[in-house]
Amino acid sequence: MPRPIEFDRTQALNDAMLLFWRQGYHNTSVRDLTDATRLKPGSLYGAFSSKRTLFLKSLDFYSEALRAAVDGMLHNDRSPLERIEYFFNRLMEETERDPQQKGCLLVNTLLETPFEDREITKKASEGLIYVEKTFAELLEEARRNGELPSLGNTEAQARVLMSAIFGLRVYARMHPAPGTLASITTTILDNLRKAN
């Protein structure tokens, strides 16, 4: 009779996710994973079957946390544009506080993974698509409330905001001067309010 797996699966998954987040999928070895999770190779494979499966589960784990954070920041009683502004301000604060400049695991994965690897790119895209759809809903609400011009494609505007997130994450790795990211965010939001 096989012995039960005796470890905290959630903790191991979190440790693996953090490692993939810092190093990327291809730069992370099984040895790195066993060191980070403090599991022996047999236990690691017994629980997750392969490095690839563990990575896919890490993306799910990250995406669930992202959705919870997005819901907390973007679903409240503030006006729609205030919620979006708060989201970007929090994004900048987290980026500036991170000495490793890890960025976003999902964005990093899309940049690292070959286009042909549809399984990983689809998995990484799902969490980001959720953010984009939430932006589109808020922008439509802002348009109805008169916070935005009545004309304009809110779905296209949501895509612009997503592109801004991608760009800000990468730009932050250039170690810009303090305040630079905040000024970029201000410009993005100002342009959004003026969009026709």
Query: What is the pLDDT at residue 25?
Result: 96
Q: What is the pLDDT, as a whole number, of residue 2?
A: 45
Contact indicator for 189, 81 with CB cutoff of 8 Å:
yes
pLDDT of 3: 44
List the structure tokens of 156: 């296209």
Q: Is 116 within 8 Å of 143 (Cβ atoms)?
A: no
Contacts of 120 (CB under 8 A, 6+ apart): 25, 55, 56, 59, 109, 113
Could you say which residues of the chain have pLDDT below 50? 1-4
Distance CA(51)–CA(153), nearest Å, equals 41
Helix segments in 49-117, DSSP class H: 51-74, 80-97, 105-112
Q: Which pLDDT score, from 0 to 100, does residue 195 have?
A: 66
Give yes or no for a contact between 105 and 60, defined as CB atoms under 8 angstroms apart.
Answer: no
Q: What is the pLDDT of residue 7?
A: 63
How is residue 3 annotated by DSSP?
P
Look up the pTM and report it: 0.87
pLDDT at 33: 96
Dist CA 143 CA 109 (whole Å): 33
- Residue burial 23-55, b: 16+ Cβ < 10 Å; e: rest: ebbeebeeebbbebbebeeebbbebbeebeebb
What is the pLDDT, as a whole number, of residue 6?
54
